[in-house]
């Protein structure tokens, strides 16, 4: 694991349409680490994920987000992605007419493009990945994730099952090779078989060059993706942090005891 955290969040406060949702959140994630962020519905988990990626609807009112030692608050979402952040969406969007393979090659070329071409319409200084090299990479990653090669010829998320949409997100992660990946309720809507397949894919990508923040409401995905750290968010802040055993305690006791801790600290 790296010595200094790639992602550092300091006292982050975020508002949506004038209402404060995050109320002073602190978190650090290093490459090589798996973190799980848990919490009841409405606690601010998805707001946090969207704020990390620069969604314009989520206004950072104070605090800091540092990535590799640099503030990213002024960066657009595509610039954050190019820097090495990635988010797997809770509800991936279908794009009829665009195949998985074409989408992935375009995304990879954008990830590799020099920053001076970003948003200017200028021709990139270097060409994108050659088609032959990309096809070889795609076959390699699909084999790693145990995906049928025909998947690449289908239109992105068009007619996909819930499990197939989430597998497409994991394939994007494999191709783009982010340094920190945020998985926003990836287990949402998955049956046990699909959950296991998606988790196997994440575990296949695990290693010293990838840090993962898994955002989830339930403990069940953590039966397959073993976190190093578990954090519990209540009312826009991380109230409790611990090891994997904390997720099991939440499964047994629910979230009320965490609220009680928060209220006791406020007295």
Residues 221-256 pLDDT 10s: 998 999 999 999 999 999 999 999 998 888 888 888
Average pLDDT, the chain: 89
> CB–CB of 171/78 below 8 Å?
no
> In which residue are the tokens 């790639």 written?
6
> CB–CB of 169/88 below 8 Å?
yes
Domain ranges of the chain: 7-266
The CATH architecture that domain 7-266 belongs to is 3-Layer(aba) Sandwich (3.40)
**Backbone conformation region of residue 97, classed left if phi is above 0, alpha if psi is from -120 to 50, else beta:** left
Work out whether strand 58-67 and strand 34-38 pair parallel, antiparallel, or are unpaired.
unpaired
Residues 199-220 pLDDT 10s: 999 999 999 999 999 999 888 8
């Amino acid at each position: 694991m790296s010595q200094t955290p790639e992602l550092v969040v300091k006292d982050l406060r975020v508002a949506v349409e004038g209402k404060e949702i995050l109320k002073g959140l602190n978190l650090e994630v290093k490459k090589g680490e798996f973190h799980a962020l848990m919490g009841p519905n409405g606690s601010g988990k998805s707001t946090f994920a969207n704020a990390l990626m620069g969604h314009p609807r989520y206004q950072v009112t104070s605090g800091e987000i540092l990535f590799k030692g640099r503030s990213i608050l002024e960066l657009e979402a595509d610039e954050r992605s190019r820097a090495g952040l990635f988010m797997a969406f809770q509800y991936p969007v279908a794009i009829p007419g665009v195949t998985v393979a074409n989408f992935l090659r375009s995304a990879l070329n954008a990830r590799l493009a020099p920053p001076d071409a970003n948003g200017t319409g200028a021709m990139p200084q270097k060409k994108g990945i050659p088609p032959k090299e990309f096809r070889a990479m795609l076959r390699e990653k699909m084999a790693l994730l145990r995906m049928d090669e025909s998947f690449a010829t289908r239109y992105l998320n068009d007619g996909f099952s819930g499990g197939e949409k989430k597998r497409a997100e994991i394939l994007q992660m494999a191709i783009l090779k982010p340094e920190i990946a945020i998985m926003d309720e990836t287990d949402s809507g998955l049956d046990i078989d699909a959950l296991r397949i998606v988790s196997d894919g994440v575990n296949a990508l695990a290693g010293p060059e990838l840090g993962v923040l898994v955002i989830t409401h339930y403990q069940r995905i953590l039966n397959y993706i073993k976190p190093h750290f578990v954090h519990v968010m209540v009312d826009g802040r991380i109230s409790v942090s611990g090891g994997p055993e904390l997720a099991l305690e939440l499964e047994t006791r629910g979230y009320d005891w965490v609220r009680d801790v928060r209220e006791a600290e406020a007295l």
